[in-house]
Structure formats: structure tokens, C-alpha cells
Structure 1
Amino acid sequence: MFSRLAVVNRGEPAVRLTRAVRELNEEHGFEISTIALHTEAEQRALFVRAADESVLLRDVESASSPYLDHDELERALRASRADAVWVGWGFVAEDPDFAERCEQMGLVFVGPPAQAMRQLGDKIEAKLLAEKTGVPVAPWSGGPVSSLDEAQEHAQTIGIPLVIKARSGGGGRGIRVVREADDLANAFERTQAEAKATFGDPVVFMESLVGGGRHIEVQVIADAHGTVWAPGVRDCSIQRRNQKLVEESGSPVLSAEQQTELREKSIALVSAAGYQGAGTVEYLYQPQDKTFAFMEVNTRLQVEHPVTETTTGLDLVKLQLLVAAGEKLTGEVPPEVGHAIEVRLNAEDADEGFAPAPGTVSVFSLPTGPGIRVDTGIAAGEVIPPDYDSMVAKVIAWGRDRPEALARLRCALRDTTVLIQGGTTTKSFLLDLLERPEVVSGEADTQWLDRVGAEMAETPASHADVALLSVAIDVYHAEEALERASFLASARGGRPRASHVVGRSVELGYQGQTYAFEVSQVGGRRYRLEVADRS
């Protein structure tokens, strides 16, 4: 087992890794140290403080983040004296060139071999391999499409509507739907341009659009001894512009037999590529005719992996580390028990088209209770920067069945309080979303939210006035706690200092409107709030 593990990631993934390493050390007597790589602005961030050691990433001259700059990462890794590297999800997690560089440096790369990453990460090569191994694929171009003339020929064969995709795309980028023949030329050119600008690779391909489909994915993990597990099947159909918002395990629309078939197909595909480590095989499912179409393989752990962990009892991050150290997957694959649902709470303004809404976290209260898990990488007082992912936390709920999991998740979200100075979160949007009949019934497909999104945006959040008053009281208590701590600290020094101000001024924003409150406590659970000269 390696002893010095560098984390080429930040925030929640880095905290998740540190927790897994501590458990492994306790469980097996290992002495693995974690080393956080971080920017200067992140020196006091939770993920840095949680690690055993840290190494500063210097600013780079290129426009990219230092988390993406191979030369700067190599310098930091050498300075860290690490013997292994964990990349999580995002940044260089699916970069075969970085995996190769780690191997050349003599480091254990916790992930698949670079060759398997290239083959499966290339969406065209992955589709060709899927066809060879009997995995179903939708009608497609059969390879890259290099010119508009070729695109028009393939459109006649595939039929419209269709999708144009970047070979190296991911995260909802490099995808365009063509619903009319007249839109083909513009969509083809724009997808090529976006692919080159975003991924440095302009190659695209085309495939039939599976309308009204469900996004189904299979979690896989493989060791170096030929054993492949497929422990979980997830449904990630509730999306906004190809970005997942709600994920669950298992799928409310698949039978046990269908899930078993998908597991077998996924194992055959990754085995043919000589895969090692954790990954996800993604499919589109058409409930009307009960057919599947292979989409792609994500050669990394997914953001939504906790729902599989919650229903199986596995720790996929610990399994990643054990497999990378040469351990075997032994015993039977644990079955999925119950149902789990996850939502991503983001620092975004749903009322402004989900524009980023970063800022300083002044109040951070997370839910607890039976079946509730929260994964986060921030703490009160930290700044959510505009430069990186806007996710604040993943809230996961497990239940004996789907209705119980959904009920627990709604309760947990209501118990979540995150106040961002100068920003906001998607909490209200998520609560409205989870109460929609299509979500409760499990009928929502991948395009449902884009169809009803405008309607939801125009509907004011229920009880918004009560929510504002409640948050104002939460802020009052948070500031009181800070002042109390300051008083006690000064008292210990022999010179207690106390404020003689009664009440607090609190300013909150909602739907572009600013509300100023004067809050004071007049009893054990009684408060007086004055709002803009009205009480």
C-alpha cells in the first residue's frame, strides 16, 4: 500500500478522499498521509485543513486553472514526495495524458490505465467497442463526421431529430440537438467550434435522438486480477440542459431483470477494454418500447456515487484505493437495499437562469436524521469562489422504498440552512422540484425539466415570506454565537468586552429585491422582526 497520497482536486471530492483514507488507516492499520494541492486563495479552506499536509499550487501563465496545468501539477507532486495520486471527479480525472505522466514519474495513479481511459473516454471508440461486445447502440454515424456534406448524408440515414456530439465532450458540453433539417449546418459548425474551444478536439459524431428517454447508468469497479463488479444502477433523468440535478438508486422504471441485463452488458464492455478502477457506463432507455442505447463510459467516479454507496453499503472511494494498491475484489457483490435519492445544492440563482451566485458562507446548518447523508467541502466563514464548481453540498436520503426516501429528502432540504453573503442557493427550487407530480411518480424523463422550466421559474416559491423571516432569525443566532465566543475569549484574557447593542440588522435578498430586517429576541422562542418600517 502507498503511504503518501496526493489529492489533485479541491472542495468536496478532496474532503471525501481524506475521510476514506482515515477510515482505511483505522480499519487496516495503514499509515497513509493525505496531501492537499491548493491555490493561495484556498490556504484556509476546509479541504486543506482536513488533509495531513499541503502543497501550494502556483499561478500559471496559461488561462487554465493550475489544477489543469500538467507542468505545475508535476512540480507540486514532486514537492509533495507523494507515491500515489487520487484525482476524484473533474479537472484531470479523465485525462489520459496526466495518467501517463504520473506513471512516468513513478506514481500510482488511482484510476484506469491511460490506454483504457483513451479508448473508453473517446466516445467514438467506445461506441465501436460497444458494438463489438454486443452492447446496444442507437443509430449513429459509425465514426467521426468531418464535413457538413458528410453530416447531411448521415442525417438522411439516421433521421431527424438527431444529436451532434463532441468526441471528447462531457459535463453537458459539446452536445446539440437538431430537430429540423434547416438547423443542421449551424448546429454542426457550433458543436465543432465548442468542442475545439472546450476540449481542444473538434471531432464530432452524430446519433439518433432518443426522445422522452431515461438516463440510466451502471456503476462498475474492476481490479487488476480480472474481476469486475457492477454494484449499482442509477437513474439520473432529472436534468437541466444536460446537467444532472437529481440522481437515484435504483431506477423507478426498470425491472430487476432489466437491471441485471445492464450490469452484464456493462461488465462485458469494460472487461474488453482492460479496465481497472471505478467507472460508469451510461445508457438512454426508452420506456415506451423498452429499449436501451449505449451513450458513453465515464472513466472516473461520478458525483452521484453516494446513492450507490447508500444502497449497497460499499465505500467506492476506499475500493478505488484498495484496487489501485493491487488488492482483489473478493466475495459476492452486495445487493442494493432500499432506495436512495440525491440532490445537488448549488450556489446559483434559479430566478436568474441559474447564474452563479458565489459569496461568503455566513450560516451553514446541515440536516441530520435517519437515512440522511450530506457530502460537502465547505464550512461557515469560507468563500465559494466564482472560478470553480458552484456546488455547496450533496444531500442524500435513503429509505426502505422510494416514497420514504423522497419524504426524507424533502425534510432534510427544509432543515438545511445556507446563507451566502452576496449570493444564494437552489434550495427553494429543489424543494419545488421534489414536490412536482412528475418527480413524485417517477415519470420525469431527461427533457421534462427543460419543457416545464419556464413554468416553474414563473411560479413564486410557496411560503417565501416565512422563509425570509426564518433565515433572518438564523442569521441573528449565528451573529449572537460569534459575539458570545468573542466575549468568552476576551474574558479568558482578563479583559471581557461586550457589545451593548440590542438586536441585529440583517439584510437578505430574494428575486432581485433586498429586504432589511431588525431582529431581536424577546423570549425563549419569541422574536420581534421589523421589516422596512413595518413590524
Structure 2
Amino acid sequence: MPIQKILIANRGEIACRVIRTAKKMGIKTVAVYSDADANALHVREADEAVHIGPAPSSQSYIVIDKILDAIRKTGADAVHPGYGFLSENPLFAAALEKEGVTFIGPPVGAIQAMGDKITSKKIAAEAGVSTVPGHMGLIEDADEAVRISASIGYPVMIKASAGGGGKGMRIAWNDAEAREGFQSSKNEAKSSFGDDRIFIEKFVTEPRHIEIQVLGDKFGNCLYLGERECSIQRRNQKVIEEAPSPFLDEATRRAMGEQAVALAKAVGYHSAGTVEFIVDGKANRFYFLEMNTRLQVEHPVTELVTGIDLVEQMIRVASGEKLSLTQADVKLNGWAIESRLYAEDPFRNFLPSIGRLSRYRPPVEGVQADGTVVRNDTGVYEGGEISMYYDPMIAKLCTWGETRAVAIDAMAAALNDFQVEGIGHNLPFLSAVMGQERFRSGRLTTAYIAEEFPEGFSGVAPDAASSRKLAAIAAVVNARVQVRATQISGTIGNHARVVGRDWVVKLGDDAHAISLSGTAEAEIVTFAEGGESVTVAGSWHPGQTHAHFVLNGERLGVKVDLIGSAIRLRLNGMDVAARVRSPRVADLAKLMPVKLPPDTSKMLLCPMPGVITSVAVKPGDTVEAGQTLATVEAMKMENVLKAERRGVVKRVAASAGQSLAVDEMIMEFE
């Protein structure tokens, strides 16, 4: 019998994603929501919504009885779990089966077999799938974790058996890191999944993270839909994904796909699922990592290159339909890139950020004028709140092009057009990656971010060519602001205010003397040094926060904000404050003193909004460099704060259980 009403046991963008396909299929939808999500987008978009409890997911989204109550209240005959929360919980799937409600996912046995990372590796080995060396048994305590790690050989990966999404995962390079990582992984695993079992495996150096999308029905048919490259990760959490992989050849793709299908068939799998592999970039060998018995966050890139709606297929399979396609029907067309927009501040080592989205304006979706495609999966809206209780992902921005280079260029343009204000976010970082030669050439590993940004991300410094482009745009923006001012002020007597044509544009340490000519529709900016002229066209006017400028035929999407006397311009990961002055004022500005920032070197400040879970020192204690001072939990991640140098604790201002804002003091040193 066809499914009539689907309850989505999830929130955010994935709930909105499922609702979109259900509506297309003519199926009613039910949203569930916590106190924090009362005004969430998925609640607005569903046909019905049921409140299920307080903000913490442990009291709402992962409480099976509350989901079952919502099903009974609404008469939903099917549940889509999305990803995370209860999506890989066999007890939930079994409870739905007992209730007579269709689970839009795999059978309970497959979830039990593959959802447990330890069991799945044993089954994979028995099925002839290549696996990573490691200890698959349960580990009782930190001492045993250290012994096992040393016997495997460092580096090792410490992982939660029930884990996913980078939660409960640590890399250890020595005994001390293995001991600390074991405890942190257990804590995160218990908090996120209610299951603190841990296992350890060898960490493959120079690895690529490549996964195979599988799809099966209840009649034994199973096929693979190509691969996704997910190597660019931060804290073991994927940041940028693409399909297909720039690394795989057809023979390796087929071998990985066939092994993935064999594993799925070994556990009687149906629905959509993903088999993840670690691929040795040097030896071109691949090893089974885990199987995710659910829809993946990065599934849109597979949909874009195959033309297959995975959520629709999951619903049809759950309804008892046979797959309407065979392996021979699966064709990979073009290239797709996904950038995950996170509420994380890249300038603060990607620490979580919360608050109100004072501006949220994604790029225009759909087929673009050049034939590329833009897609944005999101669960937020302008004016909405980013909560500290859930995953920090705001949106998944995807682009498609006929080639990888075209898809990357489309992504760079889409990121430039994406406006987000009110919180810290990683848009500048994503833009920076799109412009890197290493990324564009496809030389990826899971250590990409650590290797390319060893000192953290501090923005993109404009090169000489970019500095001139930004200076030209700033000059035109300033001219339009000045003209606007004359229109407001009018004339004094018989004299109208005249806007000058000679200016000095200051960008950081660069100063560009320029002159303006041409028309308002096409300003000509001439640089005194070298005599170069740039024609700048664009429809920007005061009050707009984004505009497209065309510089000598090159189209650039630029974020523009007027902040005091400065013009803030953001483009391709660059963020500059341009000051446009008359030549005389520019000369006087050189004489102004520089204001120094306050000294916070003797304070430990909370690097993100979060809850202090523990304070490890007290006033009067002498601490050494590297010693743990406190632990902060934010957005389901545990962050250990350590001393940067030797010192004596003067005062402890925060205690365990206390919620702190960013930069709020935790302790002070003598």
C-alpha cells in the first residue's frame, strides 16, 4: 500500500529536504520539534507539527517514546529518520515495526550489523572486503586503549562504535594522546549516541576518504551510484564533497562499487546506504571504513550527477516497489561540488558560533545562464536562531557543471553570492579553498586543511591584481555614496556640491592613487602608478549589501557594507576595509596614531559559546604548557582547553555547568 503520511524524525535541512520530495510525490508530512525549534523552517514547511520536548536532543529528538507518541497523534504511516539522531538506532526501527509503521530505511538486522562499527568490520572481512588493521574488540579503559594503540602502531584512530558525523573520534600520535582521546571519545559518544563503546584502528597516512552510494530494494536487487570524494575534513567532519572523485579510475570505481554491493547483499540491505572507504593515495589501495545505514549529508552531489532522487527511491523501496533501474542504467554526468556552510568561526579555529541570522540570503538556485546548476539545501531563514544544542551546519551549497573546473568556478561564484551575517561562519574559508591550486588540481587527503592551513585560517590576503580590483570597486562605491549625498543635501545657494574625481584608496598596507572618469553606468578607474585603467560596471547603489560588478569583462559577486568611513568588501575569501580619501586627507591620515588592542594574555577566555563541563585547576595552582585547564561542550563537541605556557592561576571565574558566551573569562593568571 502506498505511503500516505511521513513523519520526519529529524530537524533542520534534512527534514526540509525530505519534505520537499514528499510534497513532489503527493505525500503528507509531519514535523517534530523541540522547544528550540518551535519556529524552525522544517516546522513551517510540514503539513503538521508535533512538539516533543526540551531543546537537548537527549530529551526530545532521540527519545523513541516521544516520536512514537507523535506518530499516534498524527496517524503517520511511515517515518523517515534523516541522518543522525535515531537514523541508525535498531531499537527505533524495531519499535516502528512493532507499531506497524513503515521505516523508510534498511531492515533492523542490517542496522544492527552495519550500524555497529565493530561488527560491520568483521562482516566486511568475512565478505572479502578489504579492511583497515585494528582492534575490533571493546576497550574497557584508557590503560587498555594505550596498550592496544602501541601494539597497532601510531598513529591510530579512536572511534565510537555507534559514531558518525565526526563525533566520538580522535587521532592519537602517542600514549598521552591515546589516553586523553579515549576518554574524550567515550564522553562524546555517550552524549551524542547514548553508547560509549570505543574501538581503535590504524590511521592511514595520506588517506583519501571516498564513499560508494548503494541502493537496494526488498527483492534482492542492489546497485551502486558512483562515488563521492569526502577528503576535505576538519575534526573528522566533512566540509567539502564532490562526485565523482578526481582520483578514481574506472577500474577502481568498479572494484569499490562491487565490494560495496557485495557487503550490502551480505546483510540483506535495502534502501539507500553508503559504504565508506579509506583510499591510500600512493598505493591506490582501498580499505573498508564503515557503512552508514542511512541517507548521507552529502547525497545531493550524487543526485546531481546521476539525476536520481535518493529520497524518492527510499520512499518507493519502503513502499515495496522494485528498483526501476539496473546497474547499466547508472551514468555519471558532469561534476558536482558540495560546500557545507557551518556556524563556525574559521578565524577562531572553527569554533562554534551561535546567534540570530540577521542576514541570510543564499544565491539564486536552479540552472544558471552559463548552464551550471546551483542547489542549496537548508533548514534556516533570515531572522532565525542558530542554537547551541545541535549540529552547526546551516546549509549545503551545491553546484554542478559539465567538468570539475566548471563546477568549482560555479561554486566560487555561488559562495561570493551567499550572504550570512549575525554569526561566525566558514564562507570565507570555503571561498579560499575554491581558489587554491592544490584543490583545483585534485590533490586531496583527509589532512588537507591541516596541511594547507597549519597556523589556522586568517583569511585570504589580496595579491597585487586582487588589490587593484578591490580598489577599483571601492572607488566606484565611494563615488556613488558621494553622489547620493549630494542628492540628499541638495544645493547651498546657487552652488551644488561637486564630487571629486581624484582619490586615494587604502587597503591594508596598500595605497592606490586613482582618478575617475567615464559615466555612472561604466566608471573608468585609472591608477596613477602604471597608468592602468579598469572599466567598472554594475548596478550597486547605497543600501545594497551585495552586487555584481563587471571589471573589464570579468563578472564578480561582491559583498558590500558601509561601516563608518570604511567600505567593507568581501570576495573570494578576501575581507578588506577600504578607505577612500581625498589626496589631502590621505596625507593627514598617515599622521594618525594606531590604537592597540587590549592585553588579554593573562586570561583564559571561552573560545565559543558553550557549557563548561569541567574545570581542572584552582586558584594558586601552577600549570605547565599543554596542561588541561577546562573543558567546554558546544554543539555536541567536547573541546579541551590547555595552557599555552607555564603560569600560576590567580582566579577561576567559571564553574562546571555554567554557560558562557564567546570571550567570557574562564580564569585569570598572575
Give the TM-score taking structure 1 as reference length: 0.83
1:63 deviates by 7.4
Q: How far apart in 1 are the matches of 2:138 and 2:564?
A: 61
The code of the aligned residue for 1:451 comes to: E
The code of the aligned residue for 1:212 comes to: E
Q: Any idea what SS the aligned residue of 1:343 has? A: strand
2:259 counterpart (256, 265, 269): 265
2:523 maps to 1:527: no
Q: Cα 1:532–1:330, aligned 2, differ >3 Å: closer, same or farther?
A: closer
CA deviations over 1:443-478 (Å, ceiling 9, x no partner)? 1200121233343523455479969x99xx9xxxxx
Which runs of structure 2 are paired with 1:74-85 in the superposition (5 Å)?
Answer: 74-85=68-79
Q: Cα 1:413–1:273, aligned 2, differ >3 Å: closer, same or farther?
A: same
Q: Cα 1:533–1:343, aligned 2, differ >3 Å: closer, same or farther?
A: closer
Q: How far apart in 2 are the matches of 1:151 and 1:39?
A: 37
CA deviations over 1:96-118 (Å, ceiling 9, x no partner)? 11111111111111111222101
CA deviations over 1:345-401 (Å, ceiling 9, x no partner)? 122211122222233333332223232111112222322223222222211111111
Q: How far apart in 2 are the matches of 1:427 and 1:84?
A: 37
The code of the aligned residue for 2:51 comes to: L
Q: How far apart in 2 are the matches of 1:196 and 1:331?
A: 40
2:394 counterpart (389, 392, 395): 392
Q: How far apart in 2 are the matches of 1:46 and 1:156?
A: 48
Residue matched to 1:501: none
Q: Any idea what SS the aligned residue of 1:71 has? A: helix
Q: Cα 1:448–1:260, aligned 2, differ >3 Å: closer, same or farther?
A: same
Is the 1:432–1:461 contact (alpha carbons within 8 Å) kept by the matching residues of 2?
A: no
CA deviations over 1:88-136 (Å, ceiling 9, x no partner)? 1121111111111111111111111222101101111100001011100
Q: How far apart in 2 are the matches of 1:285 and 1:71?
A: 41
Identical positions, percent:
38
Q: How far apart in 2 are the matches of 1:91 and 1:169?
A: 11
The code of the aligned residue for 2:412 comes to: R
1:179 deviates by 1.9
Q: How far apart in 2 are the matches of 1:147 and 1:361?
A: 43
Residue matched to 1:126: 120
1:437 deviates by 1.9
Residue matched to 1:337: 333
| Greater gyration radius | 2
Q: Any idea what SS the aligned residue of 1:174 has? A: strand
1:284 deviates by 0.3
Question: Where does structure 2 lack aligned partners over 5 or more consecutive residues?
Answer: 478-519, 522-538, 544-560, 567-579, 581-670
Greater RCO structure (CA 8 Å; 6+ sep): 1
Residue matched to 2:553: none
Is the 1:428–1:461 contact (alpha carbons within 8 Å) kept by the matching residues of 2?
A: no
Q: Cα 1:455–1:5, aligned 2, differ >3 Å: closer, same or farther?
A: same
Q: Cα 1:419–1:444, aligned 2, differ >3 Å: closer, same or farther?
A: same
Is the 1:223–1:329 contact (alpha carbons within 8 Å) kept by the matching residues of 2?
A: yes
Q: How far apart in 2 are the matches of 1:407 and 1:194?
A: 37
Is the 2:104–2:315 contact (alpha carbons within 8 Å) kept by the matching residues of 1?
A: yes
Q: How far apart in 2 are the matches of 1:80 and 1:99?
A: 18
1:232 deviates by 2.2
Q: How far apart in 2 are the matches of 1:12 and 1:99?
A: 22
Q: How far apart in 2 are the matches of 1:390 and 1:148?
A: 30
Q: Any idea what SS the aligned residue of 1:93 has? A: coil
Q: Cα 1:147–1:69, aligned 2, differ >3 Å: closer, same or farther?
A: closer
Is the 2:374–2:398 contact (alpha carbons within 8 Å) kept by the matching residues of 1?
A: yes
Q: Which has the higher strand share?
A: 2
Q: Cα 1:23–1:63, aligned 2, differ >3 Å: closer, same or farther?
A: closer
Q: How far apart in 2 are the matches of 1:354 and 1:186?
A: 21
The code of the aligned residue for 2:450 comes to: D
Q: How many residue pairs align between the two structures?
A: 475
2:45 maps to 1:50: yes
Which runs of structure 2 are paired with 1:408-419 in the superposition (5 Å)?
Answer: 408-419=410-421
The code of the aligned residue for 1:527 comes to: P
1:143 deviates by 2.8
2:379 counterpart (364, 377, 380): 377
Is the 1:250–1:339 contact (alpha carbons within 8 Å) kept by the matching residues of 2?
A: yes
Which runs of structure 2 are paired with 1:154-303 in the superposition (5 Å)?
Answer: 154-155=148-149, 157-181=151-175, 183-303=177-297
2:6 maps to 1:5: yes
Which runs of structure 2 are paired with 1:77-116 in the superposition (5 Å)?
Answer: 77-116=71-110
CA deviations over 1:201-242 (Å, ceiling 9, x no partner)? 333222211101000100111111001121120100000110
1:361 counterpart (352, 357, 376): 357
Q: Any idea what SS the aligned residue of 2:100 has? A: coil
Q: How far apart in 2 are the matches of 1:41 and 1:200?
A: 21
Q: Cα 1:10–1:155, aligned 2, differ >3 Å: closer, same or farther?
A: closer
Q: Any idea what SS the aligned residue of 1:407 has? A: helix
2:351 maps to 1:350: no
Q: How far apart in 2 are the matches of 1:174 and 1:433?
A: 26
Q: How far apart in 1 are the matches of 2:452 and 2:562?
A: 37
Q: Any idea what SS the aligned residue of 2:316 has? A: helix
Q: How far apart in 2 are the matches of 1:12 and 1:148?
A: 37
1:148 deviates by 5.7
Is the 2:341–2:395 contact (alpha carbons within 8 Å) kept by the matching residues of 1?
A: yes
Q: Which has the higher helix share?
A: 1
Q: Any idea what SS the aligned residue of 1:409 has? A: helix
Q: Cα 1:152–1:277, aligned 2, differ >3 Å: closer, same or farther?
A: same
Q: How far apart in 2 are the matches of 1:164 and 1:525?
A: 52
2:64 maps to 1:70: yes
Which runs of structure 2 are paired with 1:425-440 in the superposition (5 Å)?
Answer: 425-440=425-440
1:198 deviates by 4.1
Q: Cα 1:424–1:196, aligned 2, differ >3 Å: closer, same or farther?
A: closer
Give the TM-score taking structure 2 as reference length: 0.67
Question: Where does structure 1 lack aligned partners over 5 or more consecutive residues?
Answer: 26-31, 474-521
Q: How far apart in 1 are the matches of 2:16 and 2:227?
A: 25
